[in-house]
Amino acid sequence: SRPILDMSYSRHFLDFQGSSIPSSMKKLVVTKLSQNFREAVTLQQDSPVPLPGDGDLLVRNRFVGINASDINYSAGRYDASVKPPFDIGFEGVGEVVALGLSASADYTVGQAVAYVKAGSFAEYTVVPARQAVPLPSVKPEFLTLMVSGATAYLSLKELGDLSEGKKVLVTAAAGGTGQFAVQLAKKAKCHVIGTCSSDEKGGFLKSIGCDRTINYKTENVESVLRKDYPEGVDVVYESVGGKMFDLALNALAIKGRLIVIGFIAGYQNPTGLQPIKAELLPAKLLKKSASVRGFFLNHYLSDYKMALQHLLKMYERGDLVCEVDFGDMSPEGKFTGLESVFRAVDYMYMGKNIGKIVVELPHSVSSKL
């Protein structure tokens, strides 16, 4: 049994490997609001390592996830009242290196955890124990479930009304969250169509059960949908926006549902939106008794832990592929260290990734930082 240490009042403490936790660390901070991530965000070299309070864990981050919405956050689009400087990064996986006394009732030093909380683009993050998710080990695959997997699971469960034989269209299907929408729709015995930007991505989608892949660089999405699915599609899981939204809306079947989980095509625009033909929206919805629903994970946090536990069990049983992209095929190679977050965000917006983009933060346990 480990001694319980109350770290909440300690300025100098040791981690579970016996190496000193440094007094300062690197982290990314939004210093200016801009839809250009590189302009908005600064890598700070000597930020103080935060101290956990009574109910907190200090997590040394080993893997952090890149999300399309990182750009919306650094552009100040989620909460206009938050002014720079503020921390960025939504999710991390790592080990507990220190904790407060109350938190030690449920966690121990050395335990693997994941979390969703602003401020993960840092070497160390303080996480309230009640928000942490205990893991069997520190693996990047677990990170794919935290935001991307949970978004697909909860949106399809709450808004999708999936049942056997339904036709489901997933846009950006080979991306971080699209991969889960494809697999979960297949588990519900639906016919799944996925759009993607390369034959390599198409091959990945087929390997996880996608029935029809549409490479929008070589095929006309609108023509394919009209020809192969003349009755339309029942559910669309839509994360692209702009012209793709219009195509998806036009492809809806009678009583079809379009779920908006993002609009990545517009995130780097000053306004954040690419125009859609919205003036025709009422007529199009009425004609088909169709609906458009938005989904934002923060509004479904009451169901979050249930969703995550379900996904973790599926992964551990081998029923779910959690594809991770470390950027090995990117021009400068694997995303390692906080400085590579900038490259990882660029890589995502170039549409190169297959699966969830993850950055590794290496740490040598023997280091006497």
pLDDT of 300 strictly over 60: yes
Question: Where on the phi/psi map is residue 355: left (φ > 0), alpha (ψ -120 to 50), or beta?
Answer: left
Task: Give residue 101's pLDDT.
Answer: 83
Are residues 296 and 154 in contact, defined by beta-carbon separation less than 8 angstroms?
no
Task: Give residue 20's pLDDT.
Answer: 64
- pLDDT tier at 272 (50, 70, 90 boundaries)? confident
Task: Give residue 2's pLDDT.
Answer: 46
Task: Give residue 286's pLDDT.
Answer: 98
* 146-299 classified as CATH 3.40.50.720: yes
Task: Give residue 360's pLDDT.
Answer: 98
Residue ranges matching CATH 3.90.180.10 in the chain: 24-138+323-360
Residue with tokens 């070299």: 45
Mean pLDDT score of the chain: 92
pTM of the model: 0.92
CATH topology of domain 24-138+323-360: Quinone Oxidoreductase; Chain A, domain 1 (3.90.180)
- pLDDT tier at 353 (50, 70, 90 boundaries)? very high
pLDDT of 279 strictly over 90: no
pLDDT of 1 strictly over 50: no
pLDDT in tens, 87-140: 999 999 999 988 888 898 899 888 999 999 999 999 999 999 999 999 999 999
Residue ranges matching CATH 3.40.50.720 in the chain: 146-299
Q: Amino acid identity of 26?
A: K
> How confident is the model over 175-196, as a mean pLDDT?
98
Kindly report which listed range (63-67, 68-72, 256-260, 339-343) carries the lowest average pLDDT score: 68-72
